[in-house]
Amino acid sequence: MRQIVKVFISGVLLVFISTGCAQKVQIKALKSAEISDGAIKNIAVLPFNNDTVSQSIKIDSALSGATINGEKYFNVIDRVNLEKIMAEKKLNDSGLVDLIHNNPTIGLQEIKTIVTGEIALNDVQQSNYLEERTDYQTCIEMVTQKDGKSYCKAYRKYNMACIANLYSLTTNVKFIKVADSKILFTRSFSKNSKATHCADDNNVLPLKEAVNTNLASEIGDNLIKIVAPSYVYFTVTLLDDEDIDFTREQSKTLKTALELLKMERVEKANEILKRLNNSLENKSYVVLYNLGVSEEALGNIYEAYELYKKADNIALNQNEVIEELSIALGRVKQNINEFEKANKQLAFK
């Protein structure tokens, strides 16, 4: 567990964002998967029903490529051998579950979960419409100015015939645990794409198979974000207005620390903020808050939570309710819960 935590900390990203006057940073946090069953780690993808867009292959590829902190999350069983066994024994998905469960000598005993599904919708809808154009070669209203110069006030308008294709793909996905045939996960994913062509352009409307195969890849990517731990991003506002009397040197130190955060030099900013906080004897909620942000950016979410609580208590004692502190406390509390769940999932064998 300690090793997993260490890897997570080293993977934290902090990026400075300039939006108006407020200084902001972006922090990423570990989010747990929706499936908290160790059987998910050893998985095989079966051919999907009505699959002319290679959806099962796209999902197999997405599962095989899923990594967290540089390590593969899934052990994906070779689909070629799997399909061969299914064809030889003329099995469907439930038959394969029974075969693996009751006969571990067939060479598929590694499989703990199978992924099955179907393409529920694979379609393209075409519609016709008109787009307005302006003919800048034909003026319909000229205006003469006092100096004798003329200009065109209005040009001829006309409509151009156009075609729009709306591509749609809906895939139903199901994860089944081999040991007891329990459904670990089931969901329907829908993706759409649009392409247009008008009589006066050179656009070529792509074939349904080409577009919907790309949509199948997007569905595979979206699925991974749900069934495996992943990172989510938060935009965090820094506080730069001094809340107590700072010396000139302390003011310069705070500005330096915030500038370092801006330059993504988080560890150095953290060191400086710690020294500044000590010199202020933990009395500034502004410094405590920014120190909490730096700890959170380093992945030290437990330390960040304690700092945010201290800062919030100081502000409340001064009859101040600081929105950034309320948001930080809620965010980190949730992230701690997700972090602990995700680390348990990463520890699955």
Note whether residue 215 is domain-resident.
Answer: yes
Mean pLDDT over 306-317 rounds to 96
Whether the Cβ atoms of residue 29 and residue 339 lie closer than 8 Å to each other = yes
- pLDDT for 9: 37
Percent of the chain with pLDDT over 70: 85
Examine residue 325 and state whether it is found in any structural domain, yes or no: yes
- 180 and 311 together in one domain: no
Does the residue 305 lie in any domain?
Answer: yes
Query: What value does the mean pLDDT of the chain take?
Result: 88
CB neighbourhood size of 273 (10 A): 27
**219 and 284 both lie in a single domain:** no
| Average pLDDT value for residue range 312-316 | 96
Residues 205 and 83 in one domain: yes
pLDDT of 300 > 80? The answer is: yes
Distance CA 307, CA 292 (A): 5
CATH code, 193: 3.40.50.10610
| Co-location of 54 and 102 in the same domain | yes
Q: Is residue 109 part of a domain?
A: yes
Same domain (yes/no): 96, 182: yes
Does residue 223 share a domain with residue 107? yes
Q: Same domain for 263 and 115?
A: no
Domain-located, residue 113:
yes
pLDDT surpassing 90 at residue 223: yes
Predicted confidence (pLDDT) per residue in 143-199, tens digit: 998 888 999 999 999 999 999 999 999 999 999 998 888 999 999 999 999 999 999
Taking alpha carbons only, the member of 150, 51, 53, 39 closest to residue 100 is 39
Residue 264 lies in a domain: yes
| pLDDT reported for residue 5 | 38
pLDDT score of 146: 87
**Which of 289, 209, 276 lies closest to 241 in space, CA to CA?**
289
Cα–Cα dist 241/286, whole Å: 7
Q: Is residue 79 part of a domain?
A: yes
Number of domains in the chain: 2
pLDDT, tens only, 37-61 = 999 999 999 889 999 999 999 999 9
Which of 228, 253, 273 delimits the end of a domain? 228
Q: Are residues 102 and 43 in the same domain?
A: yes
Q: What is the average pLDDT across 281-288?
A: 96
Helix (H) or strand (E) holding 224: helix 208-227
Same domain, 215 and 257: no
Q: Are residues 80 and 172 in the same domain?
A: yes
- Alpha-carbon distance 269 to 14, whole Å? 12
- Per-residue pLDDT at 19 exceeds 80: no
| pLDDT of 103 | 60
Task: Kindly state whether residues 185 and 275 are assigned to the same domain.
Answer: no
Same domain, 116 and 195: yes
pLDDT of residue 262: 83
pLDDT at residue 137 tops 70: yes
> 119, 171 in Cβ contact below 8 A?
yes
Which of the two residues, 309 and 299, has the higher pLDDT score? Answer: 309
Q: Please give the residue range of the domain that contains residue 254.
A: 241-346
Average pLDDT over residues 244-271: 93
Residue 4 pLDDT class (50, 70, 90 cuts): very low
How many whole angstroms separate alpha carbon 15 and alpha carbon 266? 10
Q: What is the pLDDT of residue 335?
A: 94
Query: Which pLDDT belongs to residue 148?
Result: 87
The CATH number that applies at residue 292 is 1.25.40.10
Is 83 contained in some domain?
A: yes
Q: What is the pLDDT of residues 91-114, one digit of tens each?
A: 566 666 665 666 655 556 678 898
Of 228, 253, 268, which residue sits at a domain end? 228
